[in-house]
């Protein structure tokens, strides 16, 4: 069944105008600008206008192209992971953990592999948080162990065991050569090997370039993308570890 059909809006409703940016490995000159327009044309932009071109270091040029595409978007065919749990305040999260778990909920976080981009995981874990929300360290009933950058998978498994982790939170920001996918698969396989089902912590990965639909493929319980806030993560933890379990055993 097809649902509402939309097309991009640039100057007037439904005119199909989009803006695209990319870099070509050529110095900035007239030929480079022509090359950018050729690429835009091959990608279906017609007409295409070059609105910005700037040389970036030796032999690279960054372009912004504005132009018309004919493609339509069928909103009924869009597939996304919707939030399927209620958003709770820090007070509510603490209350549920205290009442149902009767101990602190243990969370272990890290950037694994060679990834040293800790800002994202720190935004979720550190008390200072992000976007006006405090991080998980602020939650009285959560015990947070932040292992920081470039943690090896065996060290992460060991720390999760030592901390009796209820959930392991892994951040992957670098996606070159699909490093985020390889590292996540290695991590989930290591936990499956080291711990029997039922004793394994909840495995959560996050980062700005993950496809949130890939949980089964990567062997994790949940993927969080760009713009995630600590409150969403805390609410998910309570939902997945406490509310769902209670439902299952009822």
Task: At 21, list the tokens.
Answer: 């940016």
Q: Is 91 a catalytic residue?
A: no
Find the binder of ligand B12 among 13, 70, 79, 176 (CB under 6 A): 176
CA 90/CA 142 separation, integer angstroms: 10
Q: Any contact of residue 206 with ligand B12 (CB under 6 A)?
A: yes
Q: Any contact of residue 204 with ligand B12 (CB under 6 A)?
A: yes
Q: Any contact of residue 126 with ligand B12 (CB under 6 A)?
A: no
The order of strands in the sheet holding 48-55 is 17-24, 61-68, 48-55
Distances (CA, A) of 69 to 37, 72, 77, 222: 14, 9, 19, 34
Closest CB to ligand B12 among 13 and 176?
176
Which position among 54, 91, 128, 199 bears the catalytic label?
128
Q: How many residues bind ligand B12 (CB under 6 A)?
A: 28
Report CA torsion sign: 92, 94, 97, 98.
Answer: negative
Q: Any contact of residue 168 with ligand B12 (CB under 6 A)?
A: no
Q: Any contact of residue 121 with ligand B12 (CB under 6 A)?
A: yes
Q: Any contact of residue 157 with ligand B12 (CB under 6 A)?
A: no
User: 148 CB contacts (<8 Å, ≥6 apart)?
Assistant: 110, 111, 118
SS3 at position 160: helix
Choices 6-14, 41-49, 71-79, 225-233 (CB under 6 A): range interacting with ligand B12: 225-233
Binding residues for ligand B12, per CB under 6 A?
A: 114-121, 123-124, 130, 169-171, 173-176, 204-208, 224, 226-228, 233
The catalytic residues are 128
């Amino acid at each position: 069944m097809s649902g509402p059909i939309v097309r991009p809006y640039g100057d007037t409703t439904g005119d199909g105008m989009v803006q695209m940016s990319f870099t070509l490995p050529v110095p900035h000159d007239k030929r480079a600008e022509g090359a950018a327009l050729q690429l835009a044309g091959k990608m279906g932009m017609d007409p295409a206008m070059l609105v910005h071109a700037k040389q970036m270091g030796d032999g690279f040029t960054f372009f912004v192209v504005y132009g018309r595409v004919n493609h339509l978007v069928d909103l009924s065919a869009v597939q996304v992971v919707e939030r399927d749990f209620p958003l709770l305040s820090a007070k509510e999260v603490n209350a549920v953990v205290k009442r149902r778990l009767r101990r602190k909920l243990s969370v272990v976080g890290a950037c694994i592999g060679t990834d040293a981009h800790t800002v994202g995981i720190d935004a979720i874990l550190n008390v200072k948080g992000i976007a006006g929300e405090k991080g998980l360290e602020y939650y009285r009933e959560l015990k947070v162990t932040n292992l920081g950058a470039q943690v090896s998978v065996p060290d992460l498994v060991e720390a999760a065991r030592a901390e009796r982790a209820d959930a392991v939170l892994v951040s992957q920001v670098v996606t070159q050569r699909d490093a985020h996918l390889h590292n996540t698969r290695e991590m989930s396989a290591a936990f499956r090997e080291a711990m029997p089902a039922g004793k394994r912590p909840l495995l959560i990965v996050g980062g700005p370039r993950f496809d949130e639909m890939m949980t089964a493929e990567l062997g994790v319980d949940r993927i969080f993308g760009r713009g995630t806030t600590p409150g969403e993560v805390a609410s998910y933890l309570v939902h997945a570890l406490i509310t769902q379990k209670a439902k299952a055993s009822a």
